[in-house]
Each structure stands twice: as C-alpha cells, then as structure tokens.
C-alpha cells in the first residue's frame, strides 16, 4: 500500500513509520505544520508540532530512507481546533483539542489530501489497534500497552476513516519497548521526552493564554440558590470541580469547602456548592458518532463502559439514543465532569462511539 506516515517528531510516530516501511509499504513521511507562531521551539516535554519537532521528524525520515515533506495545515488548524477551543471556553464549556485535532485534521484534512494523491492509508504512532469482526467490519480497540492506550482520543473516527488508518504500535506491550526499538534502529528521538499539555499553549497556562482571545468580564460567584458569595474577574478562568482560587471569603454553613459546579456565560455567574454535587450520574449529548459499525438498535439501552478523560478511569453504564441525543446512565458516579468534554463508549476493549457532553446530571442535589 501507499502509506502516508504522519511524523510528529516524536519516538512513537518514528517507530510507526519504520514498521510500515519494514512491512513493505510504500511510505512517505509528512510533518504537519500547525502553529502560526514563527520561531516556536519545544521546551522539554511541553508542546509539540514545533520547528524542533519538524527537524526531528526529518532526521527520522532520512534514517528510514523515505521521502519527507512538511504540509502547512495551520489555517485549518486555527479554524477547526484553536478557534473552536476559544469558542467552547467562552461558552462555559471544557473542550478537548486533541479530540478535535484527530477529528478535523489528522483523520480528515490529512487523510482527504492523502486519498486525493493516491495514498491508501494514514499511519500514526497512536497506541491503539484495528481488528476485523467475523463479518469483516473494522473495529477500534485499546492497545496492549494499557498505560499508554490512546483509543480514547481516536473515538471520533468513523468506519471509513478506520478503513484508511494504520496504528502499528497497538500490539506493543510498553513504551520502553518502543524506545528500545528506536535506539536499535538508530533513531535520534529514542529518548526524546513525550509531549504533554496543549500543543498551542506550550507554557501550559490555559487561563493566561485565553486572556488574549476572550475579554475579561467580571461577574458574580453565587451559590445554588442564587445568593452572591463573591466576585470574579472572568468566568473563563474557572473549571468544573475547581476549589482553590475562589476567593469567597466566607465559609459554607457546614464549614466544608465549596467547588465550582456550573459556569453561566450569559449572566457571567460562577455557581459553587458542595463537593458531593460533583458526583455525576447521567451524561447527555446530541453530537455523537459511531466508531465503525453502529449498534443494530441504538434506541434500546445497552451495557457499556464510559471514559471521559484521556487517561481516566472507565465506569460501567448503560447508553441509548433518546430523542436524538445520546443518554449515558452511569452505574457508578463520575466526578467533576463538564459540558464540552468527550465521553467515549466502550464494549470491552472495543471503542463503540463517542459524544460531546452537552449536559450532566448530579447524583446528589446541590443543596444537599
């Protein structure tokens, strides 16, 4: 097959590309230029998609003996990922830009261009696996290395995208084995630190970064009954479940700390209450997709497991499509889930689908 290897400049994508070459595919390496900040340099583990990463990717491609290109997707990345990130925070939601990048850039814009140029698949260094069921339908599954599993952030892929995706690292038991292999292959990124944080916020301070895009508008901090407890200098700086930095000044009647329960952008109010109210029992979302074959009767509740954070715990649940939106009834509460997060639905190790959370329901009344 003709394979487009997405090379981020890290060790995982370099080894994935190497394995694709070793498997006999016709491989071309591509680095996605996503940042519009000239001169951006990577510092330690913070950020990715920088000039330094591009150079690391080129060195890896040269070592593998494959052609290498840098494709500029910065405009689309800004529109589909960065602008979406800002808009979601402005609306009082908590977005996941990595999900959006996979959905809109790596497995949409990149894949579309690759297919138009005659490529058969996009190869990445994600830790996940694709299998066929008995009927030949493709399924996305967790990787063998559970500590590195990235199936969650791939939950946005549909059946057609799965058919044109390759994840060569899915059957590898640990990251240490990947680094050892990279070293054996003579790849200079063998010991390069993993990237973390949001790639376009390399300093890691989301609140400060957002100040450049969203005007600071003061508002009230209120309890669940609407009583004003304090003031804030901008709702964008708060997250669901936050306890520190509220600056209320007066203790609750029970003497226990208060936590952010809700953010109301229209009224500029931040609602706080007891920790118990952060226990979420139900999730609702109208923006959902199926990863591969959809359930035969999605309107009927089915048993599943749900994960709402990239490396978070999974909890048992039942789910169904009700009145055009997905409803997830959690059998065990999840803590501090916010609108805008992504809930990924699992059947065992298989990723069945995902939804963007629009609304949550607390297991415990906020006044309790």
* Active centre residues (catalytic): 101, 199
- Distance, in Å, from the CA atom of 283 to the CA atom of 339, rounded to the nearest integer, reads 9
342-347 and 350-356 beta bridge pairing: antiparallel
Q: What is the DSSP letter of 250?
A: S
Strand order, beta sheet including 165-166: 68-72, 26-33, 2-6, 121-123, 165-166
Question: Of 241, 367, 254, whose CA–CA distance to 308 is shortest?
Answer: 241
Question: In this structure, how many other beta carbons lie within 10 angstroms of the beta carbon of residue 31?
Answer: 24
Give 361's strand partners.
282
Q: List, as one string, the DSSP characters of 52-65.
A: HHHHHHHHHHHHHT
E-strand ranges in 47-187 read 68-72, 121-123, 128-132, 138-142, 165-166
Rounded to the nearest 5 degrees, what angle is found at the Cα of 106, between the Cα atoms of 236 and 151?
Answer: 80
Q: Residue for token digits 């894949």?
A: 111
CB distance 339 to 358 below 8 Å: yes
Length of the chain: 368
CB distance 238 to 261 below 8 Å: no
Question: Of 340, 337, 309, whose CA–CA distance to 86 is shortest?
Answer: 340
């Amino acid at each position: 097959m003709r394979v487009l290897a997405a090379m981020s400049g890290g060790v995982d994508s370099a080894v994935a590309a190497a394995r694709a070459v070793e498997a006999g595919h016709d491989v071309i390496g591509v680095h996605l230029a996503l940042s519009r900040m000239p001169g951006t340099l990577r510092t330690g583990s913070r950020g990715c998609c920088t000039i330094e990463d591009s150079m690391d990717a080129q060195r890896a491609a040269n070592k593998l003996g494959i052609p290498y290109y840098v494709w500029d997707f910065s405009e689309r990345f800004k529109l589909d990922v960065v602008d979406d990130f800002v808009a979601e925070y402005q609306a009082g939601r908590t977005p996941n830009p990595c999900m959006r990048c996979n959905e809109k850039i790596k497995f949409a814009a990149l894949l579309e261009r690759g297919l138009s140029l005659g490529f058969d698949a996009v190869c990445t260094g994600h830790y996940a696996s694709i299998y066929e069921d008995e009927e030949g339908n493709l399924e996305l599954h967790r990787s063998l290395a559970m500590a590195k599993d990235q199936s969650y952030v791939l939950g946005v892929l549909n059946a057609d995208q799965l058919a044109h995706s390759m994840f060569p690292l899915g059957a590898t038991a640990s990251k240490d084995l990947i680094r050892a292999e990279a070293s054996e292959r003579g790849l200079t990124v063998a010991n390069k630190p993993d990237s973390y944080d949001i790639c376009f916020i390399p300093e890691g301070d989301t609140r400060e970064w957002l100040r450049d895009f969203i005007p600071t508008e003061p508002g009230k901090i209120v309890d669940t009954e609407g009583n004003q407890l304090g003031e804030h200098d901008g709702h964008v700086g708060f997250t669901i479940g936050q306890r520190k930095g509220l600056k209320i000044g007066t203790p609750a009647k029970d003497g226990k700390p208060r936590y952010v329960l809700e953010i109301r952008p229209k009224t500029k109010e931040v609602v706080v209450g007891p920790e118990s109210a952060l226990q979420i029992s139900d999730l609702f979302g109208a923006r959902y997709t199926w990863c591969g074959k959809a359930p035969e009767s999605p309107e009927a509740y089915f048993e599943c497991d749900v994960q709402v954070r990239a490396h978070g715990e999974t909890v048992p649940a039942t789910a169904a499509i009700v009145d055009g939106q997905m409803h997830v009834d959690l059998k065990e509460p999840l803590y501090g889930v916010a609108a805008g997060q992504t809930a990924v639905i699992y059947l065992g190790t298989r990723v069945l689908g995902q939804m963007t959370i629009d609304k949550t329901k607390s297991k415990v009344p906020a006044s309790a």
